[in-house]
A = this chain, B = another copy of it.
């Protein structure tokens, strides 16, 4: 039976990526060696890292003074690296938007290194909308936001113009839509949604914002070290970077970010239309802030839960459970999710 994988992450990737990365585990580039046993300093892997960095540069149309890094530790380590690299040691102060659990985790880490002002929050309304209309003056070292809130299914539709460096956690919607990426100074994203397997984190950083904090930064946490070593400060997660490169190649081959956005909007529209039409379902969030990546919704008729779950199972639908903190359902419809899988889900919803 075909499985329709709606998992929130790690999540579906293109089938081609699975096939090519499995092949590389057996024999990488016809070398007779597995991708798991080659040196990260080998010519073949240095080329992989170089191409993986270059493709992000091209896809995002990044200016020269931006750098692309592949690090370890997930967004959770970036929650800490962001203030370490950007918040002044003396009197450091940053502006954060609290739009969800992951944003709150980022805030928690920044508070350990300086003052954090929460300039917008939807916490009191169960994160059901994206905070807007806040002001950020130039007294802050930087501004931080989360572009997409995986759990609640909300997404920033636009980004504020602020007079300080703009940092954005794009873990769950990276490469899903066209943006002017140069409006950000720091972007990070755990790969395990739209980019590749878990175990590698993309960091894009404007070098002009670095080196200004007066802090002694531990080596691994210092973006400048990773830039100087061309993302090879220490042994990178070789396989994970390679599988990410395969995903990026696939993205370019299928039309790049613009084409992906078009497909994503079609999938989201199909699913939200059904939720709006069907009296048994509703989203957790306000309409205007709905995410094109994570469609979180609840079933309003609890007596139908068993039947709905059973029919989903029979249809091969997997990973539809909502996050344990919120309950309900969550259909993650990342780049690699085909519209056919969304159609299967919609038809099960219509069967109730």
Give residues in A with beta carbon < 8 Å to B.
Answer: 1-3, 5, 7-13, 17-19, 21-23, 25-26, 31-34, 36-42, 71-77, 79-80, 105, 108-109, 112, 190, 192, 196-200, 216, 218-221, 233-240, 243, 318-319, 324
Contacts of A216 in B (CB 8 A): 112
B10:A238 contact, CB within 8 angstroms: yes
Q: Could you tell me the distance between the alpha carbons of A318 and B21 in the complex, rounded to whole angstroms?
A: 22
A198:B239 contact, CB within 8 angstroms: yes
With A10-B39, A25-B22, A319-B39 as known contacts, state yes or no: A199 contacts B240, CB within 8 Å.
Answer: yes
Q: What's the least CB distance linking A237 to chain B, in Å?
A: 3
With A72-B199, A240-B199, A240-B240 as known contacts, state yes or no: A219 contacts B36, CB within 8 Å.
Answer: no
B25:A10 contact, CB within 8 angstroms: no
Q: What's the least CB distance linking A227 to chain B, in Å?
A: 16
Q: What's the least CB distance linking A316 to chain B, in Å?
A: 8
Given A10-B40, A76-B220, A80-B221: 6 more A-B contacts, CB < 8 Å: A10-B38, A10-B238, A12-B37, A18-B34, A72-B73, A240-B240
What is the oligomeric copy number? Answer: 2
Contacts of A71 in B (CB 8 A): 73
Contacts of A80 in B (CB 8 A): 218-221
Contacts of A197 in B (CB 8 A): 36, 237-239
B23:A36 contact, CB within 8 angstroms: no
Contacts of A38 in B (CB 8 A): 7, 10
Q: Could you tell me the distance between the alpha carbons of A36 and B240 in the complex, rounded to whole angstroms?
A: 10
Contacts of A192 in B (CB 8 A): 235, 238
Contacts of A33 in B (CB 8 A): 3, 5, 318
Contacts of A26 in B (CB 8 A): 18-19, 22
